[in-house]
């Protein structure tokens, strides 16, 4: 793109770029709804207490305060994060993802939802991070989750991976790869070799791609007190990566086994087996995947665009058994989140896809003279009535000027009506002009709507 955002980290698209984004959003919505996911939106605002419940990413949260708030008048109701300080759990802040708000929504509305509840949610989120390519301060996520009441069959872990593979396959993006692991497998294995600070080990393993195995081994030893042998075992597990279920044998060959690791192994095997059959080439078992956030309890997923690995994960998530609860009632879930802005930024910056035209309009109705505006509106109404997007010129300029106007706007057809009421329509790309009836004429199917095509 030629332009840079006027506010760093807050990208905005030109109309023809927005058409690409809309295509991505419409495609995701279509696939999600075909799989029975309901749309919901949650408010952009949560209480600080709700957002920081997990503790981890408070650095990135934008607090809210009413600019005209009277000093000393801050209250939970007005939610002034500025005057009440970050320690006030009732202060308001912008959500930084869609999972935490969704968990709150499920708990609040449990009495009105039919479980297992499947929803998709496509909204903006905000993080006050330092912006860089692929990382904005305001960006759109598209999430799907399935949440159960009390329990949630493991099968949904398999299903949700397949749905996401189908959704991503429908987008105008390069090949992608879902890299899947299982926390139970990892935790069981670490425990089996005597490393009990699972969260700590996962945090170190998470740095594998950034700093390499030697430095991760150092970390495991210096920060977690691992022996050299323990560190090497953990790294061996993390180095396993297979396109089929052969990872099972490779893990077993490491000679560490317990109930938890076996459970994780079986789960991951089910996901990969289904993916080999139903989404071949799109999924790998990758035992280096850790996911920093500590609410995941089973399946964990990250996704790379092949050839764009440095962009980071374009779709992440997993199984969480304890994110939402209401007294003794637990709502386990599994979900994945697509980084729409990250994907769209990449599509646009590398011209991976393009809209067939820059406006929705298919036809401009030209004005013969200034009094013909009403008649032109009748023509336009007839075309719109049959789903053909149509504009009417505002001024009866020379036809050449009106055609130039259509050309400049990217409108492919111009409609003319002469003084005798005879209609003609011109394809201004080819110059071809034919007689036409507003009640029956239609453009070729490929010209009816804007389409977005992969380069």
Q: Which residues in 176-205 contact a second copy (CB under 8 A)?
A: none
CB of 70 to a second copy, least distance (A): 11
108 in contact with a second copy (CB under 8 A):
yes
Cα(36)–Cα(33) distance, integer angstroms: 5
Residues 364-383 that bind a second copy (CB under 8 A): 373-374, 377
Give the dihedral of Cα atoms 44, 119, 285, 194; nearest 10 deg.
Answer: 70
Considering only residues 12, 209, 223, 309, which one is a binding residue for a second copy as defined by CB under 8 A?
Answer: 12
Cα(244)–Cα(63) distance, integer angstroms: 45
409 in contact with a second copy (CB under 8 A):
yes
What are the CA-CA distances from residue 358 to residues 110, 111, 361, 391, 426 (Å)?
44, 46, 9, 14, 19
Q: Find the length of the chain.
A: 455
391 in contact with a second copy (CB under 8 A):
yes
* Region from 242-250, 296-304, 324-332, 359-367 binding a second copy, contact rule CB under 8 A: 359-367
Phi-psi region of 265 (alpha: psi -120 to 50; beta: other; left: phi over 0): alpha
CB of 226 to a second copy, least distance (A): 31
Residues 44-73 that bind a second copy (CB under 8 A): 44-45, 47-48, 58-68
Closer residue to a second copy, CB minimum distance, 161 or 193 = 161
Closer residue to a second copy, CB minimum distance, 67 or 444 = 67
245 in contact with a second copy (CB under 8 A):
no
CB of 350 to a second copy, least distance (A): 19
229 in contact with a second copy (CB under 8 A):
no
Burial of 313 (0-12, 13-18, 19+ CB in 10 A): buried
CB 80 within 8 A of CB 93: no
CB of 122 to a second copy, least distance (A): 11
- The residue behind tokens 């799907």 is 144
Closer residue to a second copy, CB minimum distance, 231 or 383 = 383
389 in contact with a second copy (CB under 8 A):
yes
Residues 277-316 that bind a second copy (CB under 8 A): 277-278
Residues 159-178 that bind a second copy (CB under 8 A): 159, 162
Size of the site for a second copy (CB under 8 A): 93
What residues are paired with 132 via a beta bridge? 135
CB of 214 to a second copy, least distance (A): 32
Instruction: Pick the closest to residue 390 from 402, 373, 377 (CA basis).
Output: 377
Cα diameter, the chain: 93
CB 410 within 8 A of CB 359: yes
Cα(358)–Cα(389) distance, integer angstroms: 13
* Region from 255-263, 271-279, 296-304, 323-331 binding a second copy, contact rule CB under 8 A: 271-279
């Amino acid at each position: 793109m030629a332009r840079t955002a006027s506010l760093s980290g807050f990208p905005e698209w030109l109309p023809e770029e927005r058409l690409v984004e809309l295509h991505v959003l419409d495609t995701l919505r279509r696939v999600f709804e075909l799989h029975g996911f309901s749309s919901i939106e949650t408010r952009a605002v949560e209480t600080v207490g709700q957002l920081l419940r997990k503790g981890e990413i408070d650095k990135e949260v934008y607090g809210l305060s009413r600019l005209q708030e009277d000093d000393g008048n801050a209250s939970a109701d007005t939610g002034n994060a500025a005057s009440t300080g970050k320690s006030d759990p009732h202060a308001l802040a912008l959500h930084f993802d869609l999972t935490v708000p969704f968990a709150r929504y499920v708990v609040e509305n449990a009495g009105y939802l039919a479980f297992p509840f499947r929803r998709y949610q496509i909204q903006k989120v905000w993080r006050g991070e330092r912006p860089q390519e692929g990382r904005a301060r305001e960006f759109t996520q598209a999430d799907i989750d399935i949440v159960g009441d009390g329990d949630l069959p493991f099968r949904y872990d398999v299903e949700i991976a397949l749905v996401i593979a189908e959704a991503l396959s429908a987008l105008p993006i390069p090949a992608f790869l879902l890299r899947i692991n299982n926390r139970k497998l990892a935790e069981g294995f670490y425990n089996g070799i005597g490393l009990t600070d699972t969260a700590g080990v996962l945090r170190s393993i998470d740095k594998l791609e950034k700093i390499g195995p030697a430095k991760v081994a150092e970390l495991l030893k210096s920060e977690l007190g691992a022996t050299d042998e323990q560190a090497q075992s953990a790294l061996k597990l993390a180095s396993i990566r297979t396109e089929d279920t052969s990872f099972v044998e490779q893990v077993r060959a490491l000679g560490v086994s317990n109930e938890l690791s076996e459970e994780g192994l079986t789960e991951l095997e089910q996901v990969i087996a289904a993916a080999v059959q139903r989404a071949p080439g799109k999924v790998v078992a990758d035992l280096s995947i850790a996911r920093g956030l500590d609410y995941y309890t089973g399946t964990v997923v990250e996704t790379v665009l092949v050839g764009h690995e440095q962009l980071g994960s374009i779709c992440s998530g997993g199984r969480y058994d304890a994110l939402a609860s209401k007294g003794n009632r637990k709502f386990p879930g599994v979900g994945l989140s697509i980084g729409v802005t990250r994907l769209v930024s990449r599509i646009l910056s590398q011209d991976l896809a393009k809209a067939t035209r820059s406006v929705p309009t298919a036809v401009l109705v030209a004005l013969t003279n200034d009094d013909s505006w009403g008649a032109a509106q009748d023509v336009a109404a007839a075309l719109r009535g049959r789903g053909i997007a149509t504009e009417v010129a505002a001024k009866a300029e020379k036809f050449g000027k009106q055609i130039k106007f259509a050309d400049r706007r990217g409108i492919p057809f111009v409609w003319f009506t002469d003084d005798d009421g005879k209609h003609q329509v011109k394809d201004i790309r080819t110059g071809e002009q034919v007689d036409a009836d507003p009640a029956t004429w239609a453009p070729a199917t490929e010209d009816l709507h804007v389409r977005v095509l992969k380069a």
